[in-house]
Structure 1
């Protein structure tokens, strides 16, 4: 199974942008369906890989959003989003067990009882994902694939095609920058969760474009990847914090101790996220897009010269 960061799911050097993005989108949808149908693999692995592919697909849709219009974007984005939600509870519950282990509270009294309740929750959610569930997701994605190949994307749209994607990139970057400011100001779990969404969209968009760029793009992609991962950890910790109370396993004193340890870790993670965000989102949207446009133009010019 190709890794999501492989060239298969990114523009090739000198590839025309419209055919290239359509190729990437179709490849991502195919990967999602293939991995969901790979029954020898563990269900958690299948769901995890499928959800990653779907998130990257939606990021690609957002990059084309201003060019293809709100109707087409909304229909396909909602279809893929809803398909992901069908699978999300199973994956999210499995992640909580791993996050709990990583926090380092297992040596404390009664911690095994809390962990056991998380394992039970994960098994329950995983059991709800049946063959019929997966078949339904594959069918809905098949419909999206058929429509996506016929999207009315302009074939000629400015110099070397960058004008086709720059409005969508700018929209995501601007939203990420604004939500970062709000998250830093409030420090709430919801604010960081809302910041995580455009940060992850931006990472996937940059990853899709990186193989079509000149030098300098890999550093930018890595910065976006690190921020998305850190914000993902913050979100998982926040969900774990609330889930421990909901499940009610262990004594109140033990739950309070675990929640306190989770809160300490969240403060550390938030500090790292703010530092990474200050770097990635330092430039105003206009300047950031100009930088990307320069990388894009340099790669096209290099290809022409070669």
Structure 2
């Protein structure tokens, strides 16, 4: 099932269907492992992010459910992070290499990539409990599927639209807060919060695109570009942390200086670009956007009901087809 809530269907049933689809896909990835166990983990964790964004939409009317299920999925994702996070650092250095300012800097980044690859392979070899973690993660996903039956929401147009508007506004306010912090400070944590808010925003645009398909798609594309930029920025912050914790991993002082120089230069450029794009993506106020979501979703539900009635009326008003005469 597509990652999308259809306004033409009862909200609770749609929510359950989308959530179960993401959970079932995660289970298949973890158990079938079409490529490698680590690639399966990486793909499953993407499903977990989508689930957590979905759960935010019911928080106004199902706080206990959202808190419990969000914690369940968050904790599962954490248990599966070690090797993937180590691999992401290699990808980050390789990304930096595409922006190297000199041959010396490129050579230093190549050495860093090789060192990080050795580190990743060591972590993978030492992770003897990965099969057990994957088995536990699959079991947790099945428990999450069963827990969906507990969800009981008011599916009437008014309460549904109001619920979505509240959730939308809260998420947008998080983005506004993070953006304001990034404007005033160059703290990595603020940019990380902006990235997380942007990811949730992008996923909510996908989930609710039935409300206004063309506008939602355009907004989603711009938000995805922002999230990608902030993703690179966050990866560089994580890499900086490792450099500070384990400088010996990166060779001599000259190599280390060149790696740090590449990180700083690229991170500054990414932050500037991210702020410009974020102000464009979040240009509308949280209140106005949430009010618009409520209106559009309410109208989408009503229009879908009218279309069903019209289709049913048209079908019942058609005369029965005459039987064909037998061939001579």
TM-score if structure 1 supplies the norm length?
Answer: 0.90
Find the aligned partners of 2:103 and 2:7 in 1 and give their Cα distance. Answer: 51
Confirm or deny that 1:88 pairs with 2:84.
Answer: no
Contact 1:217–1:295 (Cα < 8 Å) also in 2: no
The alignment status of 1:22 with 2:30, answered yes or no, reads no
Runs of 4+ in 1 over 6 A off after TM superposition: none
Residues 17-40 of structure 1 show CA distances to partners (whole Å, capped at 9, x for unaligned) of 221111111111111111111223
Q: Establish whether residue 75 from structure 1 lines up as the match of residue 68 from structure 2.
A: yes
Match of 1:217 in 2: 216
CA–CA distance in structure 1, aligned partners of residues 38 and 145 of structure 2: 24
1:251-270 correspondence runs (5 A) = 251-270=252-271
SS in 1 for 2:181: helix
Structure 2 residue 56 is matched with structure 1 residue 58: no
Correspondences of 1:118-157 after superposition (within 5 Å): 118-127=116-125, 128=127, 130-156=130-156
Deviation larger for 201-210 or 213-222:
213-222
Deviation at 1:214, TM superposition (A): 4.0
Contact 2:192-2:234 at 8 Å conserved across structures: yes
CA distance in 2, matches of 1:204, 1:121: 33
Q: Secondary structure at the match of 2:203?
A: helix
Q: CA deviation at 1:297?
A: 4.2
Cα displacement (A) at 1:139 = 1.0
**How many Å separate the matches in 2 of 1:165 and 1:97?**
39
CA contact 1:90–1:126 (8 Å) conserved in 2? yes
Give the CA RMSD over aligned residues. 2.1
Bigger mean CA offset, 76-85 vs 195-204: 195-204
**CA offset at residue 126 of structure 1?**
3.3
Q: Does the CA contact (< 8 Å) of 1:58 and 1:80 recur in 2?
A: yes
Which residue in 1 is equivalent to 2:234?
Answer: 235
Q: What CA distance in whole angstroms lies between the structure 2 residues aligned with 1:146 and 1:17?
A: 18
1-structure distance, mates of 2:71, 2:215: 34
CA distance in 1, matches of 2:300, 2:46: 28
In structure 2, how many angstroms separate the alpha carbons of the residues matched to 1:177 and 1:261? Answer: 30
CA apart distance, 1:88: 1.7
- The DSSP-based 3-state class of the residue aligned with 1:158 is helix
Larger radius of gyration: 2
219-228 or 260-269: which moved more? 219-228
TM-score in terms of structure 2 length: 0.84
Q: Distance in 1 between matches of 2:8 and 2:123?
A: 45
Aligned length: 298
Runs of 5+ unmatched residues, structure 1? 1-6
1:33 and 2:27 matched: yes
